Amino acid sequence: MTAHDELGQLSIAHIDCDAFYAAIEKRDNPSLIDKPLLIGGGKRGVVATACYIARPYGPRSAMPMYKALQLCPNAIVMRPNMEKYRVASHQIRDILISATPLVEPVSVDEAYLDLSGTARLHDQPPSVTLASLAKDIAQQVGITVSIGLSYNKFLAKMASEQDKPNGFAVIGRHDSVSFLHTQSIVSIPGVGPSLAGRLKMDGLFSIGDLQALTPQDLESRYGDTGQHLARLSRGEDARRITTERKAKSISAERTFDRDIGDLPTLLKKLWTVCEDVSTRLKAKSVASGSVTLKLKTTRFRSLTRSLTLNSPTQLAEVLYRTVTPMLNRELKQGPFRLIGIGANALTDSAVADLPDLLSDDLERVKNIEYAMDTVRAKFGNKAIRKGRGD
């Protein structure tokens, strides 16, 4: 357990699984434990997770796999097993909820916790409860986590990144400003490459540089963004822990083993992606109000085209029919190394695919697709498929 003067007064935590995908694979295959492991989409894809043995050589998340293998040629590459990771994620969430109902999942491998008021319930301060949670996760799930403890979400996440893997770090009220002073400006949520470039052009490289300016100065320079920067640079974050996290979009994509430029082959890949997105929409009981086509050329140039639907949909067939003309129009930009679609403007499934008085085709498509879903639920995803898939 780490030591800190404010340890008994802090109750907002961020828990982050250490190299989650790789940790699960090493748990299930002990022969991988001492080997560099990359989880991702093969040589043409990107790195989803690099284990801690591989990271010193340079591989990191979102790096093209070919580049990661140039840096770490001895690495073992495995494709992700998302179903296995979801099972482990649910196990971890159940453990966290045993300590407090105020658990906010951020992704499959991280979450915020509000342990305010739990000291009397557990007869111990939140810091001790968190240490117990880490032990329970190690024993029951077989992986390690890193924990950050502070008085708000921003600083709790900052803390969890300070002592990885299998660490426990604390940032208190009295040391938050001094801690933030030396941190990079890109560690602030919302500061992406574009904003970071603008700030650096203005001579602002660290959070300490922001602290040297008044909130009024920052607001006059950057408007609402300046207010955001001023607050976080001083350790102020009023966001609460929320137990429900609504997805803003649902997407899926495929990276090809070879570049593809012919329409029939691309359409097969597109159909598979549409089915993936449709399955996720149905599982989350939401519908898509707009759809985005994503293509990546052989030179890594990304193309995105979006269209608002006449009415929300959950159906793979509707997604496919909507995106096919968009793909046709962009075919001359190929060949392509990746195709994907995104379902955006999500809404409740109750308004999805309502009957069309002008055509009974939608109702027929809907009945066929839901009949196929019923067969798959009973006999597996490969039990029945349309011929257009790859």
Give all domains of the chain, ordered by start, each with its CATH number: 1-171 (3.30.70.270), 177-233 (1.10.150.20), 250-379 (3.30.1490.100)
Cα-based torsion angle of the residue sequence 84, 85, 90, 91 in order, rounded to the nearest 10 degrees: 80
Rounded to the nearest 5°, which phi and psi values hold at 113?
A: -130, 140
Q: Is 104 noted as a catalytic residue in this protein?
A: no
Q: Residue 54 is which amino acid? A: A
Percentage with pLDDT > 70 across the chain: 89
Residue 389 scores a pLDDT above 70: no
pLDDT band at 243 (very low <50, low <70, confident <90, very high): confident
Q: How many Å is the Cα radius of gyration of the chain?
A: 24
pLDDT band at 37 (very low <50, low <70, confident <90, very high): very high
- If one compares 5 and 390, the residue with the highest pLDDT of the two is 5
Dist CA 310 CA 182 (whole Å): 50
Lowest-confidence region among 42-46, 76-80, 201-205: 42-46
Rounded to the nearest integer, the mean pLDDT of the chain is 89
Which structure tokens are listed for 55?
């990271």
Residue 384 scores a pLDDT above 60: no
Dist CA 289 CA 60 (whole Å): 34
Which pLDDT does position 193 carry in this prediction? 80
- If one compares 143 and 346, the residue with the highest pLDDT of the two is 143
Residue 298 C-beta-side C-alpha neighbours within 13 Å? 10
Lowest-confidence region among 3-7, 340-344, 347-351, 382-386: 382-386
Residue 361 scores a pLDDT above 90: no
pTM above 0.85, yes or no: no
- If one compares 389 and 94, the residue with the highest pLDDT of the two is 94
pLDDT band at 358 (very low <50, low <70, confident <90, very high): very low
Dist CA 229 CA 215 (whole Å): 8
Q: 229 near 218, Cβ under 8 Å?
A: yes
Percentage with pLDDT > 90 across the chain: 66
Prior bond to 165 cis, omega within 30? yes
Which pLDDT does position 383 carry in this prediction? 46
Q: In terms of Cα–Cα distance, which of 341, 140, 165, 124 is closest to 254?
A: 341
Residue 379 scores a pLDDT above 90: no
pLDDT band at 108 (very low <50, low <70, confident <90, very high): confident
Residue 172 scores a pLDDT above 70: yes
Residue 303 C-beta-side C-alpha neighbours within 13 Å? 20
16 DSSP 8-state letter: E
Rounded to the nearest 5°, which phi and psi values hold at 110?
A: -155, 155
Which one of 104, 110, 253, 369 is the catalytic residue? 110
Which pLDDT does position 303 carry in this prediction? 93
Q: 38 near 181, Cβ under 8 Å?
A: no
The pairs formed by 218-221 with CB atoms below 8 angstroms and a separation of 24 or more are none
Q: What is the mean pLDDT of residues 175-196?
A: 90
Prior bond to 193 cis, omega within 30? no
**With DSSP H G I counted as helix, E B as strand and the rest as coil, what are the percentages for the chain, rounded to 5?**
45, 25, 35
Encode burial over 120-148: b for 16+ CB neighbours within 10 A, e otherwise. Answer: eeeeebbbebbbebbeebeeebebbbbbb
Dist CA 114 CA 12 (whole Å): 5
Which pLDDT does position 195 carry in this prediction? 85
Between strands 286-297 and 336-344, the pairing is antiparallel
Q: What is the mean pLDDT of residues 191-201?
A: 87
Dist CA 21 CA 215 (whole Å): 41
